[in-house]
Homo-oligomer: A and B are copies of this chain.
Amino acid sequence: MDSTIMDYQLNIRSIFWRVEKIHADKEIVSRTHQGKIKYTYKEFAERVRKLTTFLENKGLGGKPIASIAWNTHRHLELYFAVPMLGGVLHTVNVRFHPNEMEYVITQMGDSAVFLDEDVLDIFKESKLNLQHYLLNQDYDREVNSQLPIKDFPDVDEKSGAVSCFTSGTTGRPKGVIYSHRSIFVHSLSLLSADVLGISSSDSVMVVVPMFHISGWDVPFSALMTGSKLVLPGPRPKAEDLLQLIQEEKVSIAIGAPTVWIDFINYVNKIKADISSLKSVVMGGSEPPKGLIKSFVDMGIKVYHAWGMTETEAIATINKENDIDKVTRQGYPIPGFEIDLRDPLGDRLPWDEKTIGELVVRGAFVTAKYLGQESKNSWLRTGDVAIINSKGSVKVVDRIKDLIKSGGEWISTVDLENAIMSHPKVLEAVVVGVRDEKWGERPVALVVPKEKVSEDEIRDYLLSLNAFPKWWIPEKIIFVDSIPKTSTGKLDKKNVRDTVAKLIH
């Protein structure tokens, strides 16, 4: 039986309506190459309308357009103007190699590029011969001189709105295009009290790059509900973040654990006041317990979120304040479903013991990568996990990082976290190396805080009573730093190459 409900499109325009009509006096704060810029949602909306006219005049309406940009108000204007004209904003990772930039921009068929000044050189190194605009005062002048567009075209909610490529450590980056609808539903889901619970009285700082999974959609969420939005601009350092937190009374901040490790060290060193901060959201990789403890001890809540490019970032969340539990990836948010499967695709029990591949589906899950055929069933995440009877996920490892030793699995993530909990260790990564007898054996790369021996670490691991003896690495290599991907994750492919060279 049909419903009588109207056919209302869940699109970016419907978020923009709230920005302009309901939250007009709220603020957006942006740290830029030209200093801190602050304006109201009303001024932002006016700029979006002018930018839209600019795009139309340049013949860019409805086309895919690349941005290679930091978290600024100008980038945010593109987030709205491009999709509301029916185009897709392709947010390119500023840390991509020029060859990768060329690859992803060609794949998307972008018609123009908007970029920050400090990535111009890298962009020029790519072989792209593309119309480009610098996101600086020239952009401001150009945009400000336009007449604001009066009416936006109707855009179907299932159209593409924002595109992001995986920074894949194996193979070429793969493209995902989020729809208006997926952004709307995901942003709304994030607003739930049991998810991020952002409110109009919050000051929200998005440290996670806007070139990475649309800043986990948090910019859209914040604007939907009328929070103050704080964008920390190009290459923010710990002191930049601290300054913004203090000046803008940031109450909730979102970013990867690596960012927070640097930040909390700095805060502790100078004994800074961050009392405005009520919660910190971490995701992208499992936050070390020591990091969580640092915040929790200061009365700041740590929300641990899990997600991937393929799930529009935050898809599960863990808000348990218990330090031993908050390393779990947590519960699926509304609009998102999980399950556990064996290699044949059969369902596995949620019993906290059975290890399987995490599979997912939902309103903000991709059915495929750009250029591929759609599958539209459960998406295989490549993450190996256990799930407890209440549906809380614990990711054990990436399938390709799991170590098979003597026919049994070793979780590199568990070993890494255990090693990093040693007081003399700053960072650690574990990879498998071929072994005649056992198939594979774990090898650890460790960045020490202070002098520490291999045996000290091994004894410590044994003392935890958390692993079988055969999990303990025979080989622990001390290094100055660990290779990371362009999104700040441990680059295990690179680590494996390094280890291979060091061992042989």
Contacts and interface: CB of A to CB of B under 8 A. Distances in A.
Interface in A9-67: 10, 14, 17-18, 21-25, 64
A257 interface: no
Contact of A3 (B8, B25, B158, B376): B158
A425 interface: no
Contacts of A370: 4
A391 interface: yes
24 contacts: A1-B64, A2-B160, A2-B177, A3-B159, A3-B182, A4-B160, A4-B368, A4-B369, A4-B370, A5-B179, A6-B366, A8-B361, A8-B362, A8-B365, A21-B391, A23-B390, A25-B390, A184-B335, A185-B188, A188-B192, A191-B334, A192-B192, A192-B193, A193-B199
A178 interface: yes
A465 interface: no
Contact of A367 (B5, B350, B391): B5
Nearest to A189: B188
Interface in A169-194: 175-182, 184-185, 188-189, 191-194
B225 A3 contact: no
A224 interface: yes
A88 interface: yes
Contacts of A14: 335, 337
Contacts of A7: 367, 376
A115 interface: no
Contacts of A180: 3
Contacts of A332: 18, 22
Interface in A70-115: 87-88
Contacts of A18: 332, 334
A456 to B, nearest CB: 42
A123 interface: no
A179 B21 contact: no
B365 A6 contact: yes
A22 B333 CA distance: 10
A199 B160 CA distance: 32
B188 A335 contact: yes
Contacts of A199: 193-194, 197
Given A1-B88, A88-B1, A224 B177 contact: no
A310 to B, nearest CB: 9
B22 A331 contact: yes
Number of copies of this kind of chain in the complex: 2
Contacts of A197: 193, 197, 199
Nearest to A26: B390
Interface in A312-368: 331-332, 334-335, 337, 350, 361-368
Nearest to A186: B5
B335 A178 contact: no
Contacts of A226: 194
Contact of A6 (B8, B17, B188, B367): B367
A141 B36 CA distance: 68
A1 B188 contact: no
A18 B8 CA distance: 25
Given A191-B191, A199-B193, A391-B21, A365 B5 contact: yes
Contacts of A17: 337
Nearest to A337: B17
Contacts of A463: none
Nearest to A63: B1
A351 to B, nearest CB: 13
A192 to B, nearest CB: 4
Interface in A437-468: none
Contacts of A362: 6, 8
Contacts of A389: 24
A175 B25 CA distance: 39
A161 interface: yes
Contact of A160 (B1, B160, B350): B1
A208 to B, nearest CB: 20
